Amino acid sequence: MSRSNAELGRLVAEGRPLAVVFFRYLDERESLAGLLDLLLPEGASMRRVDGLAAVFDPATFDQTLAVFFPDAASEEEAVGELERRRDALVARRATAVLFFPVGGAAARRLGETPSLASWLRGQMYTSGLDELDPDTGGDEDFERARAAFEARTRQTPEAWWEAWSRGAIESTLVNHLLAVEAERLCIEPLA
C-alpha cells in the first residue's frame, strides 16, 4: 500500500468523529470513497449520504459515513454548521468523512475558521499532493512511476483509467489502489 493510501486509510481507522478528503475531480471523489470503503476494518462498511443531516443524527454515530455535497453553497454552509455544532460530534464512534473539492468553497471557508481547521488537524487528506506531481519538478520520478505502472499493468495510465471508468476492470482493493495511482499518473486530462 502506498504512503498516501495508508494515510487515507488512517482517517477512518483512528475513530475520530470527522475527517475531510479534498478531491480534484468527481471521478476521483468516487475512487477515493470506494478506496476508503475497502480500507475499513473487517466487518465495517461505509454509507454514502448527501449533506450534513446524517452526520449529526445519533442513529448514525456507529456508522462510517461518506458525505457528499451537491454544490458550493452547501459546502460552505456545511463548514459553518460544523463550526457551530462540532461539540455535538464528540459522541460519534465512527468517522464521518466529508468530501470537498480542492480549492472550493469549503476549503476557503475552512481557511476562515481556524478553530475548526485546528480541530480537524491531522484528519484532512488532499488527493494529488504527493511526490508524483509533474508540475513540482519531479519529472524524472514521475516518468519512472509511469514506466513502473505500465510494466505492472501492461497499459498506460490513461488506457487503464479509461477501462476502469467504463467498468471493464473488476472492483477489487488492488484495482481501487491502481485507479488512484493511474489517475495521478495521467498526462492527458481525464474525461
| Over residues 49-58, mean pLDDT | 92
In order of their start, the domains of the chain are: 3-126 (3.40.50.300), 134-185 (no CATH)
Task: Say which amino acid occupies 89.
Answer: L
**DSSP of 122-191:** TSEEETT-STT-GGGT-HHHHHHHHHHHHHHHSS-HHHHHHHHHTT-S---HHHHHHHHHHHHH-SSPP-
Residue that wins the pLDDT comparison between 7 and 189:
7
Closest CA to 153 of 133, 181, 191, 126: 181
What is the reported pLDDT for 36? 85
What is the reported pLDDT for 137? 42
C-alpha cell of residue 61:
454515530
Q: Does the pTM of the predicted model rise above 0.75?
A: no
Closest CA to 120 of 7, 6, 20, 14: 20
Per-residue model confidence as pLDDT tens digits over 69-110: 888 889 989 999 999 999 999 899 889 999 988 778 888 888
Above 60 in pLDDT, residue 129? no
Whole-angstrom distance, CA of residue 161 vs CA of residue 182: 6
Confidence label for 4 from pLDDT (cuts 50, 70 and 90): low
